[in-house]
Amino acid sequence: EYSLVALGLAVVFSIMGLVNFAHGEIIGVSAYSVFLAAALGLTSPFVAVLLAVGMAALAAVVFERVAFRPVRCAPTTTGLLTAFGVSIVVQNLFMLLISPKPQSVSVLNGLNQMWFFGPFAVSSLQVMELIVSGLTILALVLFLNRSTLGLAIRAASRDFATVRLMGIKAN
């Protein structure tokens, strides 16, 4: 489950040169969206996944446009402080609007199944996480290596200023 978090941090760092300390809050927006939808009676896991991905993407775009884009050409410490600031603001919004206590969503019964291999236990949820992580990483590698946008992203990660001079819309 942490592989996708690490992948997101690595992609942001390679492109923007920024350790995004607000990355966890994007995941939090996604998780709380699913929690609130479940509290309203949403039971479909497929809709929950689409909601989670959509809300994470929306949060990432809002954070980038409102907080990170204005300080893109500023010194690195400015970006780090901005990321800390976004993180603190969003965490406090979670506590004010939802709850300061941890919240949970029940997992589908089929994902609670356990397999035992000697002293090791593996849940079907862990197997699913492994498969989804592997497929996501494969899709990202193919996207970055085979698409025009992926090549532009890779070029921007090497030299952002040169990419903009060549006419590629780097924002």
Beta strands in 91-156 (DSSP E): 114-117, 120-123
Do 22 and 63 touch, CB atoms closer than 8 A?
A: yes
- Domain boundary assignment for the chain: 1-106, 107-171
Q: How far apart are CA 10 and CA 1, in angstroms?
A: 15
Q: How confident is the prediction along the chain (171 residues), in pLDDT tens digits per residue? A: 688 888 888 888 887 778 888 999 999 999 999 999 988 988 788 888 899 999 999 999 999 999 998 988 888 899 899 999 999 999 999 999 998 898 888 777 667 788 898 899 998 888 888 998 999 999 999 999 999 888 888 888 787 778 777 887 766
- Quickly count: other Cβ atoms within 10 Å of residue 22's Cβ: 25
Characterize 103-123 residue by residue with b for buried, 16 or more Cβ atoms within 10 angstroms of its Cβ, and e for exposed: eeeeeeeeeeeeeeeeeeeee
- In one-letter notation, the amino acid at residue 150 is G
